[in-house]
Chain A
Amino acid sequence: MKVQRRLSPAVAAPAVALLSWSTRAGAELLSGRPEDVSLDGHLGDRLFDLTTVMVGGLFLLMVTVLLVVAIFHRDRPGRAAWYFHGRGKRSLLVTAAFCGTVFLSVDGTLLVNSFEDLNEHFWKWPTDARTVKVEVAAQQWGWNFRYAGPDGKFNTDDDILTFNEMTVPVDTPVFVKLKSKDVIHSFYLPNFRIKQDAIPNALTQMWFQAKKTGDFEIGCAQHCGVNHYKMRGLLHVVSPRDFTDWQKVETADSSRRYDTADTTAHWGWDWES
């Protein structure tokens, strides 16, 4: 029977369609991350991509070996299996060399990069005088925000208090300290690649800096009850001038609402505590 050498259009057309579809689908999947609008978010993304290249290589190696043995080392008449226990010095050396190389190159690369990212960025708490400080009290199911107000002190009558909406200036460090009123929540900013648990009896902290104005979502990442999925807040990133204006309006508003007797509303704490 004659082998058909040229691809018929009946085969080629669906093949091309499939290829272009899978390319588009692949590109879609790779772009699945939310937009990164933070100063340091690219660090995690970069490490993610680097990890993907490294573990992708290892995975391909493993799959290649599996395919080779499953296809070429199958039980066929005349095929002999190698009688080999791999327990000599040489086998041990090869194993150690392979595993050592993988560890030092893959894990080593990750560790070195991560230490730097953590100590120089994620855990290097902002000292900039412009830093906006925010206290967050999480509760079932929403976020309470507290800004110090003109006196720079927390838990005083000029504090700005908001619920589920947080406003911060662009290109300015934002330092957040968190507590929880009831159960454990987790303050999650997908567009900033960062999250931090809010815990009932402990003070936790995180910081971020936006490099773009706009509205972004705040999520809760820790199961906190039936309405966990509804615990969505909004982060408004505005220009520094808009932020100053917003502060003025909010201060006036919050001061007007201030009630000495309403002790539950005075949940703030001394920033340095």
Chain B
Amino acid sequence: MNESHGLAHDEHDPIHPAPTGFLRKYVFSEDHKVIAKQFIWLGLSFLLVGGTMAMMIRWQLANPGVPFPLIGRVVFSKSGGLISPAAYTSLFTMHGTIMIFWAITPIMIGGFGNFCIPLLIGARDMVFPKLNMFSFWMMFLATVILVVSFFVPMGAGAAGWTAYPTISTQMGTPGWGQTLWVVAIYFAGGSSIMGAVNYITTVIVLRAPGMGYFKMPLTVWGLWLTAILNALFIPVLAAGMLLLFLDRTFGTHFFVNGMAIKGGGDPILYQHLFWIFGHPEVYILILPVWGVVSDLTSFFARKPAFGYRVTALAMVAVCVLSAVVYGHHMYATGMSPLLGQGFMVLTMIISVPATVLFFNWLATLWRGKLQLKVPMLFTLGVVFVFGLGGLTGLYLADIPQDLYLHDTYFVVGHFHLTMAAAVFLGSFASIYFWFPKMFGRQMNPLLGKLHFVFSFIPLNLVFCGMLEVGFGGMQRRLYDPNVYGTFKHLLPVNRFISYSAFTLFFGQLFFVVNFFHSVFAGKRAEQNPWGVGTLEWANTTSPPPHHNYDVVPQVVNGPHEFNHPDVKDKDWLGQAEPLPDGADEKAASE
């Protein structure tokens, strides 16, 4: 361990003293590592809820009008297990909402954002530990509201996860369910903003001495940029939600208008507000995974990341561009041709930094020494599915093709490949990778590999199947596509997608067994089981003490120093580990 003294922190002072009582230790904790676990538990639980809803949707599309097996009679008790059209609209609405705001966001941003940022930059905690705690408990409040919304008369929200007015106003979705949906999103957004403020500031002020911005692991870059986008764009969503709330409860007419309804509002205004947030949101969800993939490709290829600075800057470029492409979600609203073409060009420009990322990932892997351990398998899986997802985006960016493909399953397949499949695999790459540091135990690699096979293959079958039915022209959100003669021949494909989805769902059992077994009875993990040079592995124990680092490390190297010619006894070099005496300092900085 490095002995040089840190300057940014008082030597033996943690940011806050270690708690003693049970409540302060595990429930109202200010420790970023505990809050991270709270977010991950929340996220994984809702991944199960959202996943179960996906199974119900797929069941209906494979066997229209057949009661849902096993739990159907309990969940859909009024209809004897049958999924009614009204229940179906609630299902796809809540599936999207839960997966985005209650699964991906808590796992990758709340969970790994909290766990990784302080540890990877050599800090003893977040800069605002109390705010961090509030961020979780505000999310908890949002969760309670969301759960309650399922049990109010007329059921949960049913206006789609985008909640476009006027379907999301009282005339389209009357009742408390949709109103509580709006409030829950509002509070979940508040939680994200609190987290974002904390992450941004922590990265700026609490980096260990020597940890320049271009020495941070790319995971931190991804999480940091996500936080910046969150801080900038969640307020726009919040504005939309607030106005929608007023329209629903106080009879204002911000978004209400129509041939048969009185009001002076503009429903399209909501779409602008929603997508100004909504398009950055897809990058908010994927950036942490891009960061993790950029690091893990290097870690498990035992080779420095190719073009580290270019990768980081490409992510910055994506963030900047993400704010000016949102109009491609609205091609079908009849926007002016000039605007449509402008958004088409801007959208295609975003493929440049995206290509750079892929180029750098593949160049990192090239001529490496690949260790196909479980986190690496999931990482390569991300590259594959995100490749598919990114490339299918090209069709949709293109207006003449979008006229046909818009609002079909092609879109569903595309955004699931990017947002769902890539983030799903990326989350598991992160869980398998940081599990030893989180819990001080190892996960079982055989079960991990089985989990990978049963996730990766079905994921691709499901979402490529969706591309195919979308290519066939089938719209999204149809309770029963067989109403249309044009889509009747797609039923076998829909069945195939559904059975692949069921395989995917039950394939997660490998993870559940592995996770719970390893948390309580896994093999004790070493400090640095993967042989990686970043601070959390090289400079502290597994799991780290309350204050993370006994001595705040003095950083001298980048995060990806593998197989350095001057390091003889091992194939990695710690970020805070000076080169052996007499070694050429220039080699590492070139």
Contacts and interface: CB of A to CB of B under 8 A. Distances in A.
A183 B172 contact: yes
Contact of B85 (A65, A99, A227): A227
A86 interface: yes
A107 B351 contact: yes
Interface string A127-139: 0000000000101
Interface in A22-80: 29, 32-34, 41, 43-44, 47-48, 51, 54-55, 58-59, 62-63, 65-66, 69-70, 73-76, 79-80
Interface string B248-277: 000000000111110001111000000000
Contact of A118 (B160, B259, B394, B400): B400
Interface stretch (B44-52, B193-201, B307-315, B436-444): B307-315
Interface in A212-239: 217, 219-230, 232
Nearest to A188: B475
Contact of B380 (A59, A66, A99): A66
Given A32-B490, A69-B368, A44 B400 contact: yes
Contacts of A195: 332, 403-404, 406-407
Interface in A133-179: 137, 139, 179
Nearest to A63: B384
B332 A51 contact: no
Interface string B559-586: 0101111000001000000000000000
B232 interface: no
Contacts of B337: 118-119, 123
Interface in B158-208: 158-160, 164, 166-167, 171-173
Given A69-B366, A204-B334, A223-B167, A83 B564 contact: yes
B307 A47 contact: no
A54 to B, nearest CB: 8
Given A180-B258, A221-B475, A84 B306 contact: yes
A102 B370 CA distance: 27
Most B CB contacts (10 A, CB to CB) among A75, A83, A113, A186 go to A83
Contact of A62 (B257, B358, B484): B358
User: Helix, strand, loop or mixed for chain A's interface?
Assistant: mixed
A51 B398 contact: yes
Interface string B136-167: 00000000000000000000001110001011
Nearest to B558: A85
Interface stretch (B385-393, B504-512, B532-540, B548-556): B385-393
Contacts of B364: 86
Given A32-B471, A80-B563, A223-B159, A122 B167 contact: no
Contacts, number: 304
Contacts of B63: none
A137 B260 CA distance: 10
A62 B387 contact: yes
B460 to A, nearest CB: 12
Contacts of A265: none
A199 B362 CA distance: 45
B360 A86 contact: yes
Nearest to A103: B352
Nearest to A264: B260
A223 B259 contact: no
Interface residues of B, number: 104
Contacts of B310: 87, 92, 95
A204 B330 CA distance: 13
Contact of A99 (B268, B309, B356, B365): B356
B486 A217 contact: yes
B391 A91 contact: no
Interface string B448-482: 00000000000000000000110111011111110
Given A34-B486, A79-B369, A103-B351, A184 B267 contact: yes
Interface in A2-21: none
B259 A229 contact: no
A-B complex: 10 closest residue pairs judged by Cβ atoms: A200-B258, A204-B334, A201-B257, A86-B306, A190-B473, A81-B369, A55-B391, A221-B407, A32-B472, A193-B404
Interface of A: 29, 32-34, 41, 43-44, 47-48, 51, 54-55, 58-59, 62-63, 65-66, 69-70, 73-76, 79-88, 91-92, 95, 98-100, 102-103, 106-107, 110-111, 113-115, 117-119, 122-123, 137, 139, 179-184, 186, 188, 190-191, 193-197, 199-202, 204-205, 217, 219-230, 232, 264, 267
Given A111-B345, A200-B259, 10 more contacts: A33-B472, A59-B388, A62-B383, A66-B380, A79-B369, A81-B368, A95-B307, A114-B398, A193-B403, A199-B268
Interface of B: 85-86, 89, 158-160, 164, 166-167, 171-173, 257-261, 265-268, 301-310, 332-334, 337, 340-341, 344-345, 348-349, 351-352, 355-356, 358-360, 362-372, 380, 383-384, 387-388, 391-392, 394-395, 397-401, 403-404, 406-408, 468-469, 471-473, 475-481, 483-486, 489-490, 493, 560, 562-565, 571, 590
